[in-house]
Amino acid sequence: MTFETRLEVFEGPLDLLLHLIKINEIDISDIPVATITEQYLEYLDLLRALDINVAGDFLVMASTLMHIKSKMLLPKQEGDVEEIEDPRMEIVRPLMEYMQLREAAHELATRDILYRDVFKRGSETDGKRGVEEDINTAEVSLYELMDAFKKVMKRRYPGIVLRFRAETWSVKKKMVEIMKGLKGKEHFYFRDLFSGNTSISEMIATFLALLDLMKNGAIIVFQDKVGGDIKLKTLKAEA
């Protein structure tokens, strides 16, 4: 059986940059371009190793980062009188704008909806919120899941370099297995998804199945607190 899957990334290059800024605990206005570029390229390599389709804008951002890195390495001319703008502003500006848009979108998404385009005032809410809202206080991004997956792989296969090889594992079957594992349970720990997996390819197939279920809205992943254990929960009983 030939393993064929190309999962589209549902978070973009700006999300990846913000993730790198977060885990490195750096100021967005003072980005260490060399470090961020190296880590960004490592994530692209991992996306390819997991057989996740990397859109063109990821490659554009990679070339932009390398261009900025090269500009910052150029020596300043002693005769330069005019103040030259920091090359990093080329990515800082869109990052700041994207953060504002993402925060606005998140604020709208958490409002109680009366009708399709009508929202309640904040003071009119009765305090009753759905299960999804309660557990989304610490959301988990694609890149945080990738970090968690890398940790699982390092524990199971220390020093391994991920390279996907086609085997008989079916992503669709793994999706069914995950949903069966969640049936009747309040939640399921991310790390426990891989407890029975025996090969690298099977673990990758399981991870891809998880991403596909998330993308299709069948499950959500969350943390009780930022940096805590990642958990899974079904969104729909009929899923």
What is the pTM (predicted TM-score) of this model? 0.64
Task: Please give the CATH topology (third level) of the domain spanning 137-239.
Answer: Arc Repressor Mutant, subunit A (1.10.10)
Phi and psi at 80, nearest 5°, equal -70, 125
What is the radius of gyration, based on Cα positions, of the chain?
A: 21
pLDDT at 239 over 90: no
Nearest CA to 201 among 171, 159, 181? Answer: 171
Can you tell me the mean pLDDT for 173-181?
90
Q: How many CB atoms lie under 10 A from the CB of residue 189?
A: 11
Phi and psi at 87, nearest 5°, equal -60, -25
Q: Where along the chain do its domains lie?
A: 1-109, 137-239
Max avg pLDDT among 107-116, 118-127, 218-227: 218-227
- The pLDDT of residue 87: 86
**Alpha-carbon distance 15 to 110, whole Å?**
20
- The pLDDT of residue 117: 55
pLDDT at 37 over 90: yes
- Which residues face 221 on adjacent strands? 232
**Alpha-carbon distance 232 to 238, whole Å?**
16
Tens-digit pLDDT profile for residues 135-148: 444 678 888 888 88
